[in-house]
Amino acid sequence: MNGEFDLFVIGAGMAGTTAANKCASKGWRVGIVDALPYGGTCALRGCDPKKILRRGAEVIDAAHLMRGKGITENGLSIDWSALMRHKRGFTDAVPQGMEDELIGNGVTTFHGSARFTGPNQLEIDGTEHRAKRFLIATGASPRPLSFPGHEYLIDSTDFLDLDALPHRIVFVGGGFISFEFAHIAARAGVDCVIIDHGDRPLREFDPDLVASLVTRTEQTGIRVQLGTSVVGVTRTATGLDVTVDQGGKTSTIGADLVVHGAGRIAKLDGLHLDAAHIAAGPRGVTVTEQLQSTTNPAVYAAGDSADTPGRPLTPVAVFEGKVAASNMLAASTTPVGTSTTPDYTAVPTTVFTIPELNRVGILESEARDSGLDIDVRLTDTSGWYSNYRVGETTASAKIIIDRASDRILGAHLLGPGYAELINIFGLAIKLGLTSRQLKSMTATYPSIGADLGSML
C-alpha cells in the first residue's frame, strides 16, 4: 500500500485539476488519477474542439449570408480533414501540458482506473492508496439508451474525432450536442436530421428564441423532427435505418451515421462507491451545499459528477472545484472550519449554433410563476446595423426586468456575436444593476456591445 495523501482527486478535468492545484499550493500531498488523457471533456472532447470546428462553419455561413452583397463564394468549402488537423493542433498538446502543470505544483499524477476499496482508500489498477480526503470529479457520460440498435450510435467524443464526414447524419436528442454539431456538419455539406421526442428542443432556453432558431436551423437545410421517438436502428447494406414514431405513425430515415445527443449523466460507473459509503444518483454524488458527501465526510464532489443546482458547464466545474478545495482546506485547519458554498447566480450559457443562442438569469415563465411583476422587453434585432452588416436575418433579444427595482432578472439573446454580449448581462445580474445603470454605459461604436442600450 502506498503512503497516505492529504487529498486524492479522481478525474483530471477542470474541476479536479483546479482543486488539486489549489490544495497542493498550500503544501498538501495531493494525488490525481484519470483513466483518460488529462484535460477532461471541455478541453479535449467538448467545448474547445467544438468551437474550433465551428469556426469552419462560421466562415461558410458568413460567405453565404454575404452572397450578392459583394462576396462570391466560388466553391468555398470545408476541408474536414484539414480542419480536424487544426483542432488536433490544440487538443494534442493539452494532456501533457496539464500534467506538467500539476507535477510542477507538486501533485503526484497517476494514469489508470480507480475504484474505492474502503472509506479512505482506493485502488488504481491493483495498487492501493490511502487519503484523508477525496474529490470525485469524473465528469459525465452519454445517457444509456434502450431502443434496439442503440449500439450503432456514436457519441460526441467520437464525432469530434471523425477524420471524414459521411453524407447523412441523424442526431438523436434536441439538446446542445445535436444542434451544435448539426450546424457544423450542415455547413460541411452533410444532410442532417435532428430527432427530439419533445414538442420543443433546448428547453432551458427562451421558447420564442428557440422557435426562431429552429426556423433558422431548417433554413440551413437541417430537418428538425419534434414529437418524434426513435423506435430502433438497424444496419443495412448502405448504412443505417433509423425507425421513428411521430404521433403513432412510424417511418424510416436513412443515415450513414447516428449521433447520440440525448443527454448525459454523471460518470460514476466502476468507482465502487458503495465500498466507501458514498450515496449517489443519476445526477451525481449526493452532496451538501458545501460539496461534501452526505454519507462520507472524507469525500467531496464537483463538476458534472456532483448532484448540485449548477448547470453542466465548464465555468461551474471550475468554481465548484475551487469551493471544494477551500472547504477541505478550511476543515483541516480549524475544529469547526469555515464553509463556502458555490454561487450559481448569473452564470451564462450558450448554444453555439449559427447564430448562437444565449441565456443568463431566469426565463419569462419562471418569473411569472414566481409572481414577479416584470417588464418583458422583446426586440427583433435582425434589422439592426450590427446584423445588417453581416447579412444575418435572424436575431432577437428578450430582457426580463423587475418593475419595482428596475433590476435585470434575465437576458435571452439570439444573434451573431451575442455570446460575448450575454456576459455583460450576467455581470449586471450578479451585481444587481438596474436597466438604467446598464444603459448609462457608453460602448465603442460600431460594435455589438453598442446594441445593449437599445435592447433595454
For 9-66, the DSSP string reads EE--SHHHHHHHHHHHTTT--EEEEESS-TTHIIIIISHHHHHHHHHHHHHHHHHHHT
* CB-based contacts of 336, cutoff 8 Å, min separation 6: none
Phi, psi of 290 (to 5 degrees): -90, 5
Q: What number of other Cβ atoms are within 10 A of residue 81's Cβ?
A: 12
CATH topology of domain 349-455: Enolase-like; domain 1 (3.30.390)
d(CA 224, CA 226): 6
Q: In CATH, which of 3.40.50.300, 3.50.50.60, 3.30.70.260, 3.40.50.1970 is domain 150-262?
A: 3.50.50.60
What 8-state DSSP symbol labels residue 448? G
pLDDT in tens, the chain (456 residues): 456 999 999 999 999 999 999 999 999 999 999 999 999 999 999 999 999 999 999 999 999 999 999 999 999 999 999 999 999 999 999 999 999 999 999 999 999 999 999 999 999 999 999 999 999 999 999 999 999 999 999 999 999 999 999 999 999 999 999 999 999 999 999 999 999 999 999 999 999 999 999 999 999 999 999 999 999 999 999 999 999 999 999 999 999 999 999 999 999 999 999 999 999 998 999 999 999 999 999 999 999 999 999 999 999 999 999 999 999 999 887 666 568 999 999 999 999 999 999 999 999 999 999 999 999 999 999 999 999 999 999 999 999 999 999 999 999 999 999 999 999 999 999 999 999 999 999 999 999 999 999 999
Alpha helices in 137-206 (DSSP H): 156-159, 176-187
Q: What is the pLDDT of residue 336?
A: 60
Alpha helices in 125-204 (DSSP H): 156-159, 176-187
Whether 4-47+86-142+265-333 and 150-262 share one fold: the answer is yes
Q: What number of other Cβ atoms are within 10 A of residue 280's Cβ?
A: 22
d(CA 348, CA 426): 6
For the record, the C-alpha cell of 55 comes out as 469556426
Q: What is the pLDDT of residue 1?
A: 46
DSSP 312-373: S-HHHHHHHHHHHHHHHHHHHHSSS--------TT--EEE-SSSEEEEEE--HHHHHHTT--
Q: What is the pLDDT of residue 88?
A: 97
Length of the chain: 456
Q: What is the pLDDT of residue 423?
A: 98
* CB-based contacts of 27, cutoff 8 Å, min separation 6: none
d(CA 197, CA 213): 18
Phi, psi of 417 (to 5 degrees): 80, 0
Q: Where are the domains of the chain?
A: 4-47+86-142+265-333, 150-262, 349-455
Work out the angle at residue 225's Cα, subtended by the Cα atoms of residues 239 and 164, and round it to the nearest 5 degrees.
35
Distance (Å) of CA 377 to CA 202, 380, 388, 408? 21, 10, 21, 11
For residue 451, which of 402, 415, 400 has the smallest C-alpha distance?
A: 415
CB distance 42 to 64 below 8 Å: no
pTM over 0.85: yes
Write the single-letter amino acid at 303: G
Q: What is the pLDDT of residue 333?
A: 79
Q: Give the containing element (helix H, strand E) for 387.
A: helix 385-388
CATH number assigned to the domain covering 4-47+86-142+265-333:
3.50.50.60
CB distance 51 to 26 below 8 Å: no
Q: Give the containing element (helix H, strand E) for 123.
A: strand 121-124
CB distance 374 to 356 below 8 Å: no
**ω before 355 within 30° of 0 (cis)?**
yes
CA dihedral 50, 56, 59, 61 (to 10 degrees): -70
Report the chain's terminal Cα–Cα distance, integer Å. 62
Phi, psi of 154 (to 5 degrees): -105, 160
Distance (Å) of CA 191 to CA 149, 162, 184, 251, 451? 21, 16, 11, 18, 35
For residue 55, which of 95, 73, 93, 82 has the smallest C-alpha distance?
A: 82
